[in-house]
Amino acid sequence: MTGVAGSVVVLGDALLDVDLVGSASRLAPDAAVPVLDDVRETARPGGAALAASLLARDGVDVVLVAALGDDAASSRLREVLPAGVQVIALPLEGELPRKVRVRASSQSLARLDYGGGSVGSVGSDARTEADVARVLAHASAVLVSDYGRGVAARLRGLLATFANRLPVVWDPHPRGAQPVDGVRAVTPNATEAAEFACRIRGSSAEQALRRAADDAQLLVRAWRAGSVCVTMGAAGALLSFGDDSPLIVPAPVVRCVDPCGAGDRFAGTFTLALARGDLPSEAARAAVAAASAFVETGVERIFEATLPLPTGNDVFVRVAALRARGATVVATGGCFDLLHAGHIETLRAARALGDYLVVCLNSDASVGRLKGTGRPLVPATDRVRVLEALECVDAVVVFDEDTPSAVLAKLQPQIWAKGGDYGGRTLPEASVLAEWGGQAVILPYLQGRSTSALVDAAIQNAL
């Protein structure tokens, strides 16, 4: 359940994104350029269409208002849009913009842009404008995804009418229209915010965070917006209401090869949170978390499969689906009784090895047999909840045996990561991993951190 009463309208410039993905292991003999083998082509929504598609994947009823024509790129975009996206098509003059990215695995090597189409005359089509007004009247929130192709500028009058009636989030582009007065939030990235601010006050050479805070404060007032939320990549986001003390939302540390689409994910999640009735500060936190998870997964991997991953609590079904899509599943295990810094270090390192981390957790009976009387200190139900709350943990499986061999045989992860000082010894799980070609690895041990030490210290302090 999304908690949203009505639909979310995404209004702006749709694009078609095409990936040409291959493997690169050698250079061409006639030039120092990589040779891509086994190239495959995939198409996915881009621009406003990407923002709408991601919201639809979240279970939201979405209406996309964008310019589409009869050209091949427009037709392909209609094909790859999720079924949950309703489209109100404005007339398009020219071909739909198409961005072709050439990638080696997940690393972009080049981008080729085609098609310079923009929105045609809407004023002559009274029925289309009436359709847009009708969906706006019943919307829970509006996201203006402006890529400078004219849709936001063309429908500016309608947007100004509704900006004071419902939450409107404006994701701007330097070539696009200025936000209408009264929008709930504007979400430029740091570079865009600096460019917009320079147009108002001239250039500035301040420290990055101070610059972002000053830019946001100025833009809140200049645009008469409720807030401006500046996205700053790995530094998170800065939310300003026009005063001197902005809110900083830090981002978790994630692996990011290509941030393509992160801004659309951020703006869409921010809009959805406002549609639910969340405060802008809550919306910013949710948007940073969603965008961080998005870039770690990668837009290519998110859209490479036609079917969604299985939902529900069956971790084994989900892991099998992930492996079938080429994702790297990592497993680690232990008692995790009284979670401490050493545990966190191991879990973060394990998650960095792949795309999905499953923690194999000893049951209460198993911990008692391994650790002796009085253990565990924390029951399995609570240990599961604590582990699942960590950003680096994707799933937890409880096993009752003394070793995780049986649960590993069912999960079949590509990597089994174990923390501790094994001094060159072979991990006991290595033999079962060999059955499907899995690899056992040892992660660095954080010296001096253990549950037993914590227990002993607590006892000494109590005496």
Yes or no: say if 356 and 330 are a contact pair by the CB < 8 Å rule. yes
What percentage of the chain's residues is helix, strand, coil (to nearest 5)? 35, 25, 40
CA distances to 41, 50, 124 from 28, in Å: 21, 35, 54
Question: What share of the chain in percent tops pLDDT 90?
Answer: 52
Q: Taking residues 110-135, what's their average pLDDT?
A: 80
The DSSP result for 236-279, as a single string, is -EEEESSSS-PEEEPPPP---S--TTHHHHHHHHHHHHHHTT--
Domain layout of the chain by residue ranges: 7-302, 315-462
Place of tokens 């410039």: 13
pLDDT tens digits along 239-271: 999 998 999 999 887 777 678 889 999 999 999
124 is written with which tokens?
């002559």
Minimum mean pLDDT range among 14-23, 66-75, 364-373: 364-373
Task: Assign 3-class secondary structure to 53-106.
Answer: HHHHHCCCCEEEEEECCCCHHHHHHHHHCCCCEEEEEECEECCCCEEEEEEECC
> One of 264, 337, 355, 394 is an active-site residue; which one?
264
Per-residue pLDDT at 228: 97
Instruction: Please check whether the two domains, 7-302 and 315-462, share a CATH topology.
Output: no
pLDDT tens digits along 173-219: 999 989 999 999 999 999 999 999 988 877 666 678 889 999 999 99
Q: Is 264 a catalytic residue?
A: yes
Per-residue pLDDT at 205: 61
Q: Is the pLDDT of residue 351 over 80?
A: yes
Place of tokens 């609570």: 382
> Which one, of 377, 383, 435, lies nearest residue 406 by Cα?
435
CATH homologous superfamily for the domain 315-462: HUPs (3.40.50.620)
CA atoms of 144 and 140, how far apart (whole Å): 14
> Which one, of 418, 406, 422, 416, lies nearest residue 438 by Cα?
416
CA atoms of 230 and 89, how far apart (whole Å): 30
Per-residue pLDDT at 335: 87
pLDDT tens digits along 66-80: 999 999 999 999 999
CA atoms of 322 and 10, how far apart (whole Å): 30
CA atoms of 354 and 395, how far apart (whole Å): 14
CA atoms of 284 and 246, how far apart (whole Å): 12
Report which residue type is found at 88: I
Q: Is the pLDDT of residue 328 over 60?
A: yes
Q: Does domain 7-302 have CATH number 1.10.10.10?
A: no
Residue ranges of alpha helices (H) inside 278-402 are 280-297, 299-303, 315-324, 341-351, 364-371, 380-388
Minimum mean pLDDT range among 88-97, 335-344, 353-362: 335-344
Q: Is the pLDDT of residue 325 over 80?
A: no
CA distances to 339, 359, 458 from 386, in Å: 8, 12, 21
Q: Is the pLDDT of residue 344 over 90?
A: no
Yes or no: say if 225 and 185 are a contact pair by the CB < 8 Å rule. yes
Dihedral of the CA atoms 234, 53, 164, 89 (nearest 10)? Answer: 130
Minimum mean pLDDT range among 97-101, 173-177, 335-339, 436-440: 335-339
Q: Is the pLDDT of residue 444 over 80?
A: no
